[in-house]
Amino acid sequence: MMRNWCACAAACAFVLAAGVSRAQSREPSDAWLMKNYRFTGPPKPGSIPPTDPVVSDLRQIQNMLLSIMRKADFGEDYETAMAAAAQAASNAQLIGVINQRIEAAANAQKAAVEAKANIPTYSIAFTDHTIETATAYWSDGLMLHYMTPQGAHVQVRLNHVDKSLSAKLNRMNHLDFNLPE
């Protein structure tokens, strides 16, 4: 009897050891993962739009309110559930308004960049062999006034401007540049 019991115990130990050794194999086996999941890698830079911190905080509050609402409904505390639902609805509207304003600001910034790209840039040559760029220019007798692309207003005496070279540079860019003689 003792002999059968030892044989049975040895057989059980062998089966268990074989099962445990396969289940706890130290060799990595990625075949199952590669077969059942599709790995695409990280997203491309710029493909995920940045989130406004206020919207992020409101979403956390929203998740908490929804949790309170579910717990209150489960506990049959309908007054709390209704209050949480009302606050969640207000937060959802606020998130929508903030997202619309963010989108409008982004569209306005994009339009400003496009408009800035369409502004003609004049070249103004000086007698000291330097060339400056301007988005607008005008003269008032002895002075030339011009606006730089950065928005600064600059004034120089007309006798420091190389009028012929300035006119030639702007003609090459198909721009009219006329200064008084």
Q: In the CATH hierarchy, which top-level class contains the domain 122-172?
A: mainly beta
Q: Where are the domains of the chain?
A: 53-117, 122-172
> Residue 153: is its pLDDT beyond 90?
yes
> Residue 180: is its pLDDT beyond 60?
yes
* Distance, CA of 174 to CA of 170 (rounded, Å): 6
Which pLDDT does position 28 carry in this prediction? 59
The distance in angstroms from the start CA to the end CA of the chain is: 127
Which pLDDT does position 137 carry in this prediction? 92
Which pLDDT does position 24 carry in this prediction? 53
Closest Cα partner for 161 from 175, 144, 137? Answer: 144
Hey, is 35 helix, strand or coil? helix
> Residue 16: is its pLDDT beyond 70?
no
